[in-house]
Amino acid sequence: MTILDGKALAQRIQGELTEQSAAFFAATGLKPCLATVLVGADPASAVYVRSKRRACARLGFESRHHELGPETSQQELEALIDALNADDGVHGILVQLPLPKALDADAIIDRLDPAKDVDGFHPTNVGLLALKKPRFVSCTPAGVMRLLEESGIDPQGKRATVVGRSAIVGLPAALLLTHAHATVRITHSRTPREDLEAAVREAEILVVAVGRPGFVPGEWVRPGAVVIDVGINRLAPEPGQERGRLVGDVDFDGAVEHAGAITPVPGGVGPMTITMLMHNTLEAARQRVG
Ligand code: NDP
C-alpha cells in the first residue's frame, strides 16, 4: 500500500517552479505576477489567500493583493476586475471564493480575462478543457492528475469513479480522467445509494469530492484501488483541543486496508492545488510575454 504524499511532491514541483520563475525573470526582467482579490471577512478565505501569497513569495513570483470590505458592491468589484484585466503587469487573477452572498460570483468570473483566469473557472477555459484543448485547468483536478502521473499511475483503460460533480472539482476531474482514457462514472447527490456503492466498488481509480467526513466507507474500496480523497473537513474539537482534526471524505483507516494507493488528508491533494495555481500563473506569464 502506497501513501500518495502530495506534500513532498508539491515541494519538489514548487522547487522546479522556483527555478523556472528565475529563468523567466532572467529572460524577460519580469516576475510572474498573481493578483489576489479577497472580499469580505471570511476567515477561511483569508487563510487560503495568505497561503497563496506566501507561495508567491517562496517561488519568486510577484503578489499583488486587493482586499475589499464586506459591503463592496458588484460595480466596485467589477471595476477592480476591469483594472486588473487591463494591467499588463498582472499575469494571473485569483478571486477568492465564496464571495459575500450579495455579489454575483458567476458574473465576476465571466468578467475575468480568460488569459488571466489561472483558477480555470472562466467558461472559455472550462469549454477548452471539455474540448480537450486545455489552457488553464482548475487547480485541484489538475493537481490530482499530476499526482497520478508523478506516481506512475496511468488511467488508460482503468475504471474510474468520481464522486461529486462540482464545476471546480468533480466535473473537470471526470473530464481529465476521460481524456486520459479512463472509463469514467460520475456520481452525485441524486445517485441512489446502491448505485453509488456499486460505482465505488468497481473503481480502480476513485476520486471523492463531496465535502462530508468519512462519506465513503473503507470497505467499499476495491482491493488495490487508487483512492484520491479531495475532501477537507474539519471535525469538532476533542476535549482539550482548540481545533478539530482535518479529515477527508473517505474513511481513511478502513480504506488503507484495501487500497493500493491513497492520498492522506491533510498532505494529499491540498498541497498540489496551490502548486498548480503557481504553475498556471507562470504559464499565464509566459503566454502573455509570448
Ligand atoms: P461542492 O459542495 O461544490 O460539491 C459537492 C459535490 O458532492 C456535489 O456535486 C454534490 O452533488 C456531491 N454530493 C453531495 N452529496 C452527495 C451524496 N450523498 N452522494 C454523492 N454525491 C454527493 O464541493 P466541492 O466540489 O467544491 O468540494 C468538495 C470537497 O473538496 C470539500 O470538502 C472541499 O473542502 C474539498 N476541496 C478540497 C480542495 C483541495 O485543495 N484539496 C479544493 C476544493 C475543494 P450535487 O451536484 O448533486 O449537489
- For the chain, domains (ranges, CATH) are 29-116 (3.40.50.10860), 139-270 (3.40.50.720)
Cell numbers for 102, please give them.
Answer: 450579495
Catalytic residue among 52, 158, 229, 251: 52
Query: What distance in angstroms lies between residue 163's CA and the mean position of ligand 1's atoms?
Result: 8
In the predicted model, is pLDDT for residue 236 greater than 90? yes
- Ligand 1 neighbourhood includes 210 CB (under 6 angstroms): yes
* DSSP string across 139-176: HHHHHHHHHHHHTT---TT-EEEEE---TTTHHHHHHH
- Ligand 1 neighbourhood includes 190 CB (under 6 angstroms): yes
Cell numbers for 9, please give them.
Answer: 511532491
Query: What distance in angstroms lies between residue 290's CA and the mean position of ligand 1's atoms?
Result: 37
How many helices, marked H, and strands, marked E, lie in the chain? 10, 11
The whole-number pLDDT of residue 58 equals 98
- Ligand 1 neighbourhood includes 189 CB (under 6 angstroms): yes
pLDDT digits (tens, 9 = 90+) for 22-65: 999 999 999 999 999 999 999 999 999 999 999 999 999 999 99
DSSP character at residue 142:
H
Minimum-distance ligand 1 atom for the alpha carbon of 169: 25
71-98 in b/e form (b: 16+ CB < 10 A) is ebeeeebeebbeebbeeeebbbbbbbee
- Ligand 1 neighbourhood includes 164 CB (under 6 angstroms): yes
What does DSSP say about strands 226-229 and 261-262: parallel, antiparallel, or unpaired? parallel
The whole-number pLDDT of residue 171 equals 98
Give, for ligand 1, the residue of 7, 186, 189 to mutate: max count of ligand atoms closer than 8 Å to Cβ: 189
Kindly report the protein residue whose alpha carbon is nearest to atom 5 of ligand 1.
210
Residues 203, 177, 214, 230, Cα dihedral to 10°: 160
Query: What distance in angstroms lies between residue 150's CA and the mean position of ligand 1's atoms?
Result: 25
Kindly report the protein residue whose alpha carbon is nearest to atom 35 of ligand 1.
231
Catalytic residue among 117, 119, 229, 249: 119
What distance in Å separates the CA atoms of residue 267 and residue 246, rounded to the nearest whole number?
A: 10
Cell numbers for 202, please give them.
Answer: 468497481
pLDDT digits (tens, 9 = 90+) for 108-128: 999 999 999 999 999 999 999
Can 96 be counted among the known catalytic residues?
yes
* The model's pTM: 0.97
What does DSSP say about strands 233-234 and 246-247: parallel, antiparallel, or unpaired? antiparallel
Query: What distance in angstroms lies between residue 204's CA and the mean position of ligand 1's atoms?
Result: 20
The whole-number pLDDT of residue 177 equals 99
In DSSP terms, 227 is beta-bridged to 206, 262
Query: What distance in angstroms lies between residue 165's CA and the mean position of ligand 1's atoms?
Result: 7
Query: What distance in angstroms lies between residue 59's CA and the mean position of ligand 1's atoms?
Result: 30
Kindly report the protein residue whose alpha carbon is nearest to atom 47 of ligand 1.
189
The whole-number pLDDT of residue 193 equals 98
Kindly report the protein residue whose alpha carbon is nearest to atom 14 of ligand 1.
189
What value does the mean pLDDT take over residues 237-265? 97
In the predicted model, is pLDDT for residue 290 greater than 90? no
What distance in Å separates the CA atoms of residue 143 and residue 271, rounded to the nearest whole number?
A: 8
The whole-number pLDDT of residue 226 equals 99
Model confidence band, residue 139 (pLDDT cutoffs 50, 70, 90): very high
